Amino acid sequence: QAGETFNIQSPKQLGVILFEKMHLPYAKKTKTGYSTAADVLEKLAEEAPIVQDILSYRQLAKLKSTYADGLHAFIAKDGRIHGTFNQMVTATGRISSTDPNLQNIPVRTKLGRELRKVFIPRDGYVFVDADYSQIELRVMAHISGDEGLLRAFREGRDVHRATASEVFGVDIEHVTSQQRRMAKVINFGLIYGMSAWGLRQNLGVEKGVAEHYIEQYFARYPKVKRYMEDIRNQARTHGYVQTAFGRRLWLPDIASSRIPVQKAAERAAINAPMQGTAADLIKKAMVAVQKWLQETGAKSRLILQVHDELILEVPEEEVETVREALPRLMSGVAELKVPLVAEVGVADNWEAAH
DNA sequence: GCGATCAGCGG
DNA sequence: CCCTCGCTGATCGCG
């Protein structure tokens, strides 16, 4: 379709083909040339059929190289993958995973999820998998003390739906799936310390619209706004912020004369107490689970943590005990202003247990 | 063989 | 202000 041979895996060569030979309109540039990132190509898919083929190729190539072939190379003689977990890498106190990274196994697309089916327990065992429901947002409700957010969680509401209702000014039962999807992006944006610019990129909305959503959000959840102002000031005054348990993140860049550097430190100041408290909570849960396993003499073993999720390999005879204990231990690690909820699943592969 | 760059995966 | 972070794979230029 390009009329010549080129390396489809080279963004540089692809850029020349699409934007110089085929004269497609380029939306974005990188430091060194044209951007061929997925969000750019998606906008061009209608203009030229080759673009959709490239996106499809990219998806399949990613799954094959990083996950199918990549994970295969790590299978040990015992048939298992033994990754490495690092406790001293991230700014927020999360753990990270390498060789391979077991914390970014695909889940969001149907084809990607297929890869999770290759993770299976040993004979006679199953996986018991529990994940915290909306843990960072619950921590945000706790730390900020915002009444609207606290009420949403105490009443067991769908928090993205509740946010959509507030931000778009519609009754909760009239929230459209589109509005809920956008509210979810806003909520994640807040958690990950995303700027209005980043939110705009993510939502693909017009200039000013993202700012308007953020304005609406803060009007409806005023103590969240207050929290963000207070934490910024605390970072400036003391040079650090802390999690609900007092673990500190030092932010020397908060006083930088370079404004972008300072802004980055401010986003970290806002984000770290939420993500860091969530990291503290699941570490407490891991300790509680391990203690419980030892005290009860269980054969079950904790085999993986993925930020808000714990996966145990459990012999059939312990399934009912662990299915009850795991979410109870996770919920019980701390008494916050909102309940901590953990949802549990049992299956003979990771995809089905999640 | 190494580092920079781009791209894409998860929470 | 090229703006979330940490990780991995492919390409490309360099020595």
Check pLDDT > 90 for residue A200. no
Nearest to A265 by CA among A297, A294, A289, A232: A232
Q: Are A311 and A286 in contact (CB under 8 A)?
A: no
In CATH terms, are A83-144+268-353 and A145-267 the same topology?
no
According to the model, what pLDDT value does residue A101 have? Answer: 95
Check pLDDT > 90 for residue A191. no
Beta-sheet strands, E only, within chain A: 84-86, 96-98, 125-132, 240-242, 248-250, 301-305, 309-315, 342-347
pLDDT band for position A110 (50/70/90)? very high
The distance (Å) linking the CA of A173 with the C1' of C7 is 40
pTM of the model: 0.95
- CB of A10 lies under 7 Å from some atom of strand C: yes
Q: Are A338 and A153 in contact (CB under 8 A)?
A: yes
According to the model, what pLDDT value does residue A217 have? Answer: 94
| Distance in angstroms (rounded) separating the CA atoms of residues A18 and A8 | 11
- CB of A267 lies under 7 Å from some atom of strand B: no
Check pLDDT > 80 for residue A67. yes
Structure tokens given for A79: 């048939």
- CB of A306 lies under 7 Å from some atom of strand B: yes
Check pLDDT > 80 for residue A195. no
DSSP symbols for A126-177:
EEEEEEESSHHHHHHHHHH--HHHHHHHHTT--HHHHHHHHHHT--GGG--H
Task: Write the Ramachandran bin of A246: left for phi over 0, alpha for psi from -120 to 50, otherwise beta.
Answer: left
Matching residue, tokens 């963004």: A11
| Distance in angstroms (rounded) separating the CA atoms of residues A87 and A52 | 40
CATH superfamily of A145-267: 5' to 3' exonuclease, C-terminal subdomain (1.10.150.20)
pLDDT band for position A65 (50/70/90)? very high
Q: Half-sphere exposure of residue A152, counting CA atoms within 13 Å on the CB side?
A: 23
* A46 sits in which H/E element: none
- CB of A264 lies under 7 Å from some atom of strand C: yes
- Indicate the average pLDDT of chain A: 94
According to the model, what pLDDT value does residue A27 have? Answer: 77
The CATH number given to A83-144+268-353 is: 3.30.70.370
The top-level CATH class assigned to A1-73 is mainly alpha
Residues 90-119 (A) near nucleic chain B, CB < 7 A: 103-109, 112
Residues 184-203 (A) near nucleic chain C, CB < 7 A: 192-195, 197-198, 202
Domain range list for chain A: 1-73, 83-144+268-353, 145-267
CA of A108: nucleotide with nearest C1': B10
- The 10 Å Cβ neighbour count of residue A278 is 25
Check pLDDT > 80 for residue A64. yes
